[in-house]
Amino acid sequence: MSSDDHQDDARTVGDRIAEIIRANENTPKKTLTDGELLKLKAAAGRLDQLLSDSANAETEELKTAVSKLDQLLKNINAGKDVAPVLRLRKNK
């Protein structure tokens, strides 16, 4: 997933959240019980952790790709034959 795709997805999610918030602005307000508030806080914490884990995984994948590309470029610069490596990756 490219950075632009990720940003578009984030904007879409953000727009949807804003739409739901606006739709609920005119609804009568409900007082939450302590139990409900705790459940919501726990769910928000889990969601935050999922989002963080996802961002970290994507960052690690990008770092790995950059490292592989860097090594490939070093090999090309050193005059090594990289064709077999490229062919091998193409067939995967």
Each domain of the chain, given as residue ranges in start order, spans 1-28
Judged against a pLDDT cut of 70, whether residue 91 lies above it is answered with no
pTM score above 0.75:
no
Task: Give pLDDT, residue 3.
Answer: 62
Confidence of residue 31 (pLDDT cuts 50, 70, 90): confident
CB 77 within 8 A of CB 67: no
Confidence of residue 1 (pLDDT cuts 50, 70, 90): low
pLDDT, tens digit (0-9, with 9 covering 90-100), for 41-77: 999 999 999 999 998 889 999 999 999 899 989 999 8
Length of the chain: 92
